[in-house]
Amino acid sequence: MKMLTGVKPAIRQRLREGALKNQQTEQADVQAVKAREKQSIYVWELPIRIFHWVNAACIMVLMVTGIYIGHPFITPANNGEAYYDFFMGWVRDIHFFTAFIFTANLIFRAYWTWKGNHYAKSQILQVSFWLGLIETLKGYLFLPNHKPHYIGHNPLAQLSYWIFIGLGSVIMVLTGYYLLFQPQPDTIYGKMFAWVPFIFGGSDFTVRSWHHLVAWAFMVFIVIHVYMAYREDWMAKNGTMSSIFTGYKFEPEHRAEEAAHEIPEKITILGIGNTLYSDEGVGVYALPLLEKALADVPNLEFVDGSTEGMQLLGPVENTQALIVLDAINANVKPGTIIKLEKAQIPSFNGIKMSVHQIGFQEVVSAAQLRERVPKKMVLFGIQPASLELGTELTDTARASIAILTNKVKQQINDWRSN
């Protein structure tokens, strides 16, 4: 009996240890599964993807037609009619027309570097860019390194794009247009590019040589670019190749969280109102002034909601933070600015405070039903001084817009500092 009494506690202890071990194993398995789970991150906006494929198509067409112009490898049969021998002329026309598209596409990409999201911009002027470049080079050379994880392009990729797609494209455009207009030196376009030889060697031959050399450099770059993209996609399993079609990359949960902290959250500023009734349209009138005042603040979206009603559901649901500008009849002194936090904004069953009754309350209610309400939402309402028919704001409302601008700036700073 004494032995049995002694054995039972030991058995119980082993059972406890076994249960604890199983629990720890299960927890480890859960953590492993979570580590393997990946979240989608919207990296490449539609304009960037369009630029990429238009650029790729232009380069291929320009390369094929350019090779033919330099070394014709097809000789059309001569059947006696002059237009049958115009094949070279058609090839040249295609080459030049494609060059115009290539140039316009390049200008658009330069604009989107300023207008686009975090991943469309370049940090080449920042010290962190060059430090990251060194560590990235070490990583590719299999040397000890402290290379950060990049969701978008790493510094080495960015620098290569600046050299080949940026500088290389500028060289191709300048030398190409010079060769196009060089036979007409007295025309406006001939004079416009007459200075190009002074930059590229002083003669037509050196200009043409630069044009050819950079064209072949583009071909080398494309081979390396495609290889590196496939390599990244295969090693990181992050959807690099598919991202240029869909815009989305896939990263582990902790990487997605890091990316969320790296990029300022998107804030939508929505102006609503009827501009036919003077101060009733103050929210719409304030929008362009705010856009100008906040031009240096990243990741802002300005939406003119006018009197759209339920059509505002899209802008409301597709943002992380929402600032609404409206005229509100709160029976206070005209020009007074009222701030309503998310919980205070009237829902469908609440008091309709908007003077134009466009149904923004219904929009909020619908978003709540679909569980797509922005995490942060504020409404700034201005008490109108006049609702008479007219397309001009009163002086009272105009003065309130200046104060409203400062309040919106402060709200954005408060949200992004927390």
Residue 158 placed within a domain: yes
Q: Check residue 162 and report its DSSP letter.
A: I
Question: Do residues 189 and 124 both lie within one domain?
Answer: yes
Q: Give the range of the structural domain holding residue 328, as residue numbers without chain letter.
A: 266-417
Q: State the CATH number of the domain containing residue 303.
A: 3.40.50.1450
- As a residue count, the chain comes to 418
Distance separating alpha carbons of residues 69 and 64, to the nearest angstrom: 9
For residue 387, name the pLDDT band (cuts at 50, 70, 90): confident
Order of all β-strands in the sheet with 321-327 = 300-306, 267-272, 321-327, 376-382, 337-341
Question: Do residues 220 and 104 both lie within one domain?
Answer: yes
Question: Do residues 151 and 285 both lie within one domain?
Answer: no
Residue 64 placed within a domain: yes
Task: Judge whether 86 and 79 are in contact, CB under 8 Å.
Answer: no
pTM greater than 0.75: no
- Average pLDDT of span 381-386: 89
Task: Judge whether 339 and 388 are in contact, CB under 8 Å.
Answer: no
Last residue within a domain, chosen from 261, 296, 329? 261
Looking at per-residue confidence, does 242 or 18 come out higher? 242
Q: What are phi and psi of 22, to 5 degrees?
A: -65, -40
pLDDT in tens, 295-322: 877 778 888 887 777 777 777 887 878 9
Strand pairing class (300-306; 267-272): parallel
Question: Do residues 158 and 281 both lie within one domain?
Answer: no
Task: Judge whether 113 and 122 are in contact, CB under 8 Å.
Answer: yes
The domain tally of the chain equals 2
Question: Do residues 253 and 273 both lie within one domain?
Answer: no
Last residue within a domain, chosen from 221, 244, 261? 261
HSE (side-chain half, CA atoms, 13 Å) at 113 = 13
- Most confident segment among 93-102, 256-265, 377-386: 93-102
Last residue within a domain, chosen from 201, 232, 261? 261
